[in-house]
Structure 1
Amino acid sequence: ARVLEIDDPHDLARARALAPLLDPAADPARPPGALPDRGAIDAVVMDFDGTQTDDRVLIDADGRELVAVHRGDGLGIAALRDAGLALLILSTETNPVVAARGRKLRVPVLHGVDQKDRALKQWCDENGIAPDRVLYVGNDVNDLSCFGLVGWPVAVATAHRAVRDAARAVTTAPGGSGALREIASWILGPTLAR
């Protein structure tokens, strides 16, 4: 099913038409290597678990949850904030660690959100941000509704397959291991100084 003999221009046209059905990354509307830059983005909205963490949770004897975050991600987020981009952490989880990370990064947090797309649309409206100028980074199927709303849906390397397939770009770094720093370098350049 993935092999097509090409003998003439009609066969080539047929192969190009079939390619996106077999491999979403082959979609000509989404050329390989196309990454967002500062001119295309006004806001970055981030899921928390699985994007800023590796999606694991440690639970201590008192039932408190602990997660690990990547310092490079914090540096990237600070650079995006300093560059004037609007930022938001959007999570379905209600967890003090999400709010604490938002305070540390000086990024607003909406958590305990059941309908992420509705909350994102309202946030965009309240802040005068066009959804097509938003980069949304996620990792699991509950992020797909937001992917359909924004101009730059981005998946981390360790995202669920359906999320990677729906993304306009996919990081090489896993969630919780520098994926957000990588995204910041797409937008601001490797030195984060644009």
Structure 2
Amino acid sequence: MADKDPSPAEDAAARKKEAEEQAALPYKWTQTIGELDLSFNVPGNLKSRDLVVDIKKLTLTAGIRGQEPIISGDLPHAVRVDDSTWTLSTNSDGTKSVEIHLDKVNKMEWWAHVVTSAPTIDVTKIQPENSKLSDLDGETRGMVEKMMFDQRQKEAGLPTSDEQKKMDILKKFQEQHPEMDFSKAKIQ
């Protein structure tokens, strides 16, 4: 039997439960498709040497030295350790917060939780922000721009960039070999 979609009331109850579980965590976290940021408050008199933050490819431990960690466990997916960072910041009210930035290895998946022992969120309900082309790295941006160009060309009944390239190569070849007959040539 197929799963039925939850009713609006069931969905609202699930959202409320999820929000309560997330609010009860000793840290706050947000994510984009490519990275995850989390933070937690610590007393204002602490220095970075008073903290323990250990970011590994598949585990995270963070907290105050000599105390139970505020967050500790297995990450649901791998992170790039060299591109992940943490800082100790002073808040406007004089308290301090530890801010941890995790760079996801797979930039195409949402995380249901920071560590696998934490309550999950429903990743199907995530509404991603519209990204701008300028946010993309060079290679990805070039690929997206090419796809957008090709889509516009197809809609206008014009050749895509690949088709144009083939036609240009054929034209150049025809110019170099005027003795050959290309009247029955088909471009695939």
TM-score normalised by structure 1 residue count: 0.27
Which structure shows the higher helix fraction?
Answer: 1
- Give the structure, 1 or 2, with the largest relative contact order (CA under 8 Å, sep 6 or more): 1
TM-score normalised by structure 2 residue count: 0.28
